[in-house]
Structure formats: structure tokens, C-alpha cells
């Protein structure tokens, strides 16, 4: 009797242990399987794509959606600097001339305004100006933006490109311009203003009507679009993408175009990496190349977007210069630009 009971108990124990083992094996198996198949952000975004490093300077032209309020010369708390006027009396506004024309009725106007990603309705009344003999809204507005910058990279099959590493903004509050259309053009460097402490330098170049690509996005991590004329990018080389975790303090280099001799490699030093930082100031760099320092004094306007390379991998792009020391500045992680470009 005792022996039979023990046998039954032993059988139950064996069954329970076997069941528990099966559960653990399954959990362990599927858990390990999930870990091995999971890919990081860079691998997912770059899978089956070929990237070519940039360094070419281009002209950049943006046409904003609506008009951006740059200044307010009227006692009206309903309109603020940085507002974007999208429509007036239900008519879509794309230029400052359209807004001025509608104001000539002298009647109150219903404006649709975008403010901090929110659309609101505002009523304003034009005021008659005796000097100009016209009705005025008392607003200083801008409908487009233009400048020069540097292409960071492009993807071979889609021909999508990324440039600047930061947004095109207006006003002292750095409002990011939403765009209706925009393009990149060929440009010729006319002159260089050398950077000194508290007086940033600048590349000065032509912005032609010879459009070589379209701009689709303007984000805090750069401008993004598609190249139409690939002949301007024949010097570009295929390059691997580097993860931010692999970046090290020490030597690196950038590609930049600062004169008529075209794109060239220049040495820099990575001083600090901010792995957990947001935005586009993720890497602190210092220009060490003697030729570049002699010609530009360091980082100057127009070099934004210059690709940053370490261990033969594209890891970032120049975004900012230190006002007190033009030899030093910031770069963004290339992952930030890749993530934004993937939304096109």
C-alpha cells in the first residue's frame, strides 16, 4: 500500500517537473530567438541600402507654406512673431503680395494662423497709411528662404539626400519653416569670410536657377529630398554607417567644399560624445587641419552638413560653431538624420 502511494506520488512529481522544464525551455528558446532577431535602429533604417558620403556645397531655396511673421508693428496681441499665416478670408496665402492685396479692401480679415503646431483663427483690421495711400496690416512677413549649405550623404537607389544637420529657421526664436516646395542648386563659391571669436565666418556663393534636387523635409536634423542631377555628386564614395556607440574621442575627418577646387578632406578632433543627448548637438569637435584653419578660421556658415567620418564610417555632420571659438563646434549623430530621412 505504501509502495503504491509512493509510486503514484513519484509519477506526479515527474510529470510536474517535466511540465516546468518544458515551460522554461520554451520561454528560454523564444526569448533567445527574439534577442537574436531584434535589430537596432541603424540596421533597420539602412538595411539593403547603399550610402555615399557628401561634402558638396549647394544652394538651398525654400518656399514656406504660408508666410512667416517676422515682426509686428501694430498693437495687436492676436498676432505674434513666429506665427505662420496660412490663409486670409479662406484664401490660401503663399506670398506676402497676396496678403497685401487682400488687405486693400480695408475690411476686417479672418486669418488662419499656425502657432506652435496648432492652427487658430484670428481677426485683424487693416489700417490706412497716408504716406503710401494703401491699407497695411502692420506686419513684416517673409515667404521664402535661401542660402548655401553642405550635403551630408545620399542613398544610391532612392537618390534621397540629407544636408545641413539642422533645420532652416527664421526669427530669433528659431521657428522651423514648414515647406511647400524647395530645391537644391549648383553653386560657385565667390569668397570666404574668415571666422574669428564672436564674429562667425561665412562661405559666400551663388544660388543659381539650375536645380539639381528637390527638398521634401525641413526638420531639426536637416533638410531632406531627392537628387535629380547626379553629375554634381560624381566624387562621392560608398561608405558604411557608424553607430553612435562606436564613436570614440580622438582623430576624425570631415569632407567640405570651401573654394573653387572642390570637395576635400580635412582633419578634426572629436573632443566629447553626448550619447544621451537630444537634438543636433551630440558630438563636440575641434578643427585641427592647418589648411582649413588658415582659410576659414575653423567652422563657418555654409559648412553645416559637412560629413564627419571616423574609422572609415560616416558618424555625423557638422551643425554648429562655438561663437567664442570658431575652431570648435558641434556635430549631430548620423542616426538622427537617417531616422528623419526614412520618413520621406
CATH of the domain at 79: 2.30.42.10
SS3 helix, strand, coil % of the chain, rounded to 5?
20, 45, 35
Residue 9 confidence (pLDDT) = 45
Does residue 100 share a domain with residue 55? no
- Residues with Cβ within 8 Å of 296's Cβ and at least 6 positions away in sequence, in order, are 192, 194, 195, 201, 258, 303, 326
Does residue 202 share a domain with residue 153? yes
Residues labelled catalytic = 166, 289, 304
Does residue 180 share a domain with residue 227? yes
- C-beta of residue 128 within 8 angstroms of C-beta of residue 106: yes
Choose the weakest-confidence range: 9-13, 36-40, 65-69, 113-117: 36-40
Q: What pLDDT, in 10s, does the model give residues 216-254?
A: 999 999 999 999 999 999 889 999 999 999 999 999 999
Tell me the average pLDDT of the chain.
86
Note whether residue 148 is domain-resident.
Answer: yes
Q: Which domain holds residue 119?
A: 74-137
Residue 67 confidence (pLDDT) = 87
What CATH number is given to the structural domain containing 180? 2.40.10.120
Does residue 273 share a domain with residue 227? yes
Helices (H), the chain: 2-37, 41-46, 96-103, 290-296, 334-341
- For the segment 61-90, the average pLDDT, to the nearest whole number, is 85
Note whether residue 16 is domain-resident.
Answer: no
Integer Cα distance of 301 and 281 in angstroms: 16
Is pLDDT at 326 greater than 50 in this prediction? yes
Does residue 124 share a domain with residue 169? no
Q: What pLDDT, in 10s, does the model give residues 120-170?
A: 999 999 999 888 899 999 998 887 788 999 999 999 999 999 999 999 987
What pLDDT band is residue 24 in, cutting at 50, 70 and 90?
very low
Note whether residue 35 is domain-resident.
Answer: no
Does residue 275 share a domain with residue 158? yes
Does residue 307 share a domain with residue 225? yes
Note whether residue 11 is domain-resident.
Answer: no
Note whether residue 164 is domain-resident.
Answer: yes
Does residue 254 share a domain with residue 118? no
Does residue 114 share a domain with residue 198? no
Last residue in a domain, options 137, 158, 190: 137
Note whether residue 40 is domain-resident.
Answer: no
Does residue 272 share a domain with residue 337? yes
Does residue 104 share a domain with residue 245? no
Does residue 308 share a domain with residue 267? yes
Note whether residue 57 is domain-resident.
Answer: yes
Last residue in a domain, options 118, 137, 156: 137
Last residue in a domain, options 86, 107, 137: 137
Q: Residue 175, exposed/middle/buried by CB under 10 A (0-12, 13-18, 19+)?
A: buried
Residue 82 confidence (pLDDT) = 82
Residue given cell 535602429 in the structure block: 41
Residues comprising the chain, all counted: 344
Integer Cα distance of 219 and 178 in angstroms: 9
Note whether residue 225 is domain-resident.
Answer: yes
Report the domain count for the chain: 2
Amino acid at each position: 500500500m505504501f509502495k503504491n502511494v509512493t509510486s503514484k506520488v513519484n509519477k506526479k512529481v515527474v510529470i510536474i517537473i517535466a511540465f516546468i522544464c518544458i515551460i522554461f525551455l520554451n520561454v528560454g528558446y523564444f526569448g533567445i530567438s527574439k534577442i537574436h532577431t531584434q535589430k537596432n535602429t541603424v540596421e533597420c533604417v539602412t538595411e539593403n541600402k547603399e550610402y555615399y558620403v557628401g561634402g558638396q556645397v549647394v544652394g538651398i531655396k525654400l518656399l514656406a507654406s504660408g508666410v512667416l511673421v517676422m515682426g509686428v508693428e501694430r498693437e495687436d496681441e492676436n498676432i505674434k512673431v513666429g506665427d505662420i499665416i496660412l490663409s486670409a478670408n479662406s484664401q490660401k496665402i503663399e506670398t506676402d503680395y497676396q496678403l497685401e492685396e487682400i488687405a486693400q479692401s480695408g475690411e476686417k480679415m479672418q486669418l488662419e494662423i499656425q502657432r506652435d503646431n496648432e492652427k487658430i483663427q484670428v481677426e485683424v483690421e487693416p489700417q490706412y497709411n497716408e504716406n503710401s495711400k494703401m491699407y497695411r496690416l502692420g506686419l513684416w512677413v517673409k515667404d521664402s528662404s535661401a542660402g548655401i549649405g553642405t550635403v551630408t550623404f545620399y542613398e544610391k537607389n532612392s537618390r534621397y539626400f540629407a544636408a545641413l544637420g539642422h533645420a532652416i529657421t527664421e526669427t530669433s526664436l528659431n521657428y522651423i519653416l514648414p515647406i511647400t516646395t524647395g530645391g537644391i542648386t549648383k553653386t560657385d563659391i565667390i569668397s570666404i569670410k574668415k571666422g574669428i571669436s564672436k564674429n562667425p565666418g561665412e562661405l559666400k556663393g551663388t544660388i543659381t536657377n539650375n536645380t539639381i534636387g528637390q527638398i521634401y523635409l525641413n526638420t531639426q536634423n536637416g533638410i531632406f529630398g531627392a537628387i535629380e542631377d547626379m553629375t554634381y555628386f560624381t566624387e562621392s564614395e560608398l561608405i558604411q554607417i557608424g553607430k553612435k556607440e562606436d564613436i570614440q574621442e580622438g582623430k576624425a575627418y570631415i569632407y567640405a567644399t570651401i573654394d573653387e577646387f572642390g570637395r576635400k578632406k580635412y582633419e578634426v578632433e572629436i573632443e566629447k560624445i553626448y550619447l544621451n543627448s537630444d537634438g543636433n548637438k551630440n558630438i563636440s569637435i575641434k578643427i585641427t587641419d592647418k589648411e582649413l584653419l588658415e582659410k576659414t578660421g575653423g567652422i563657418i556658415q555654409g559648412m553645416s552638413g559637412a560629413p564627419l567620418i571616423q574609422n572609415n564610417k560616416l558618424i555625423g555632420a557638422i551643425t554648429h560653431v562655438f561663437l567664442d571659438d570658431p575652431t570648435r563646434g558641434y556635430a549631430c549623430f548620423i542616426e538622427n538624420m537617417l531616422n528623419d530621412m526614412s520618413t520621406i
